[in-house]
Amino acid sequence: MAGVTVSEVSRRFGAHKALDNVSIDFADGGFYALLGPSGSGKTTLLRQIAGFDFPDSGRISIGGESVERVPVEKRRIGMVFQNYALFPNMSVADNVAFGLSVRGEAKAVIATEVQRALDLVQLGKLGGRRPHQLSGGQRQRVALARAIVTKPRVLLLDEPLGALDKALRVDMQIELKRIQREIGITTIFVTHDQEEALTMSDRIGILRDGRLVQEGPPEEIYDRPKSEFAATFLGDANIFRGDATANGIRLPDGTAIAAGVGDRLAAGAKASCAVRPERIQIATDAGATDGDANVLRGQVSKRIFAGNNSTYFVDRAGQTLKVIVQNTGLDRLAEGQDVVLRWSPESTVLIAAAG
């Protein structure tokens, strides 16, 4: 096993800069998610690490060894794709054995390692089946077994759960995390699914237009986003824009918003605040108010029921705010109803600049 270091890597395709001076450390044995919209550079970065493509500039090392010009077959990388890329005319066991066979391993070694890999993914008794005889989740496990049977230094996963339905995808998230922990392999996981990134990873890197916007533990990025993009891409957030004050911002209509998280800014500087929808309390009147709480008045414009929770859209001074509350069976707020929104400064993140 080995860690991966990407240092100032750039890659251009014609006029398009797919990667722009990206630097990330992937810790040995960690589970790292690369998250971003389509075209953000996440798959391009994965291909650079795998060796399917080479950077125009910068350095990539695996286990301290520089590999940015080393071909893919010599990097000892395991990779799982969204479509699994299984051979339909081969049995499950032969699919898993393929990499070992190409490497020229002895038949006895291949048989032992294939069985061990299939047992690890809980398919030990299905080695004789063909891929078309398996469920989507089982095919995903076969692809994973094939990737890890060669004992790679790094495991790369490119949207491997994207073809599964929601219930199976959740099950496979748990299973994939279990397998990764058991073998202790450095894993880099590309996804556009925010929930997957939050659920599975030790650290997340958010990419946008080929640049690394923010990276760190999931809780840190969710609770302390450094930009409006990070705040709204990982999860959901209400964004307030105005001028910086000593403890937050002042909105254009003069309303003060206190922020307990984020670096202080020079008074008068343009700034934003982000507040997660689930951190806001909503009620029909102000009631007992903590003197430090942020309080705004508005009107419910829409309510969306989602089973265990409801999302309220509240119009306030030309802005629509989103509030998520747990459904408790109590009286529900009606569309058109006047409401009071309240949240603490500690739930408000000050962001240095809009965008």
Residue at 231 is within a domain? no
Q: Which residues contact 175 (CB under 8 A, 6 or more apart)?
A: 121, 122, 141
23 and 105 share a domain? yes
Give per-residue pLDDT as tens, 18-28: 999 999 999 99
290 and 142 share a domain? no
Report residue 331's pLDDT band, with 50, 70 and 90 as the boundaries.
low
85 and 110 share a domain? yes
Contact (CB, 8 A) for 49 and 4:
yes
CA 228 – CA 275 distance, rounded (Å): 11
Continuous segment of H or E residues that includes residue 322 = strand 319-326
Residue at 229 is within a domain? no
Q: What is the pTM of this model?
A: 0.88
Q: Is the pLDDT of residue 289 over 80?
A: no
Number of helices (H) and strands (E) in the chain: give both, helices first.
Answer: 8, 20
CA angle 347, 352, 355 (to 5 degrees): 95
User: Which pLDDT score, from 0 to 100, does residue 82 have?
Assistant: 76
Of the three residues 223, 248, 268, the one that is the final residue of a domain is 223
Q: Which residues contact 2 (CB under 8 A, 6 or more apart)?
A: 28, 62, 63, 64, 153, 154, 186
**What's the whole-number average pLDDT of the chain?**
91
Report residue 355's pLDDT band, with 50, 70 and 90 as the boundaries.
very low
Residue at 334 is within a domain? yes
272 and 342 share a domain? yes
- Mean pLDDT computed over 228-244: 93
Tokens read off for 246: 């000593």
**What is the domain extent for residue 107?**
4-223
How many domains, the chain?
2
81 and 127 share a domain? yes
CA 62 – CA 256 distance, rounded (Å): 49
Of the three residues 190, 223, 256, the one that is the final residue of a domain is 223
- Mean pLDDT computed over 317-339: 88
- Quote the percentage of the chain above a pLDDT of 70: 96
Report residue 220's pLDDT band, with 50, 70 and 90 as the boundaries.
very high
Q: Is the pLDDT of residue 290 over 80?
A: no
Phi, psi of 272 (to 5 degrees): -130, 160
CA 40 – CA 96 distance, rounded (Å): 32
CATH of the domain at 281: 2.40.50.100
Of the three residues 182, 199, 223, the one that is the final residue of a domain is 223
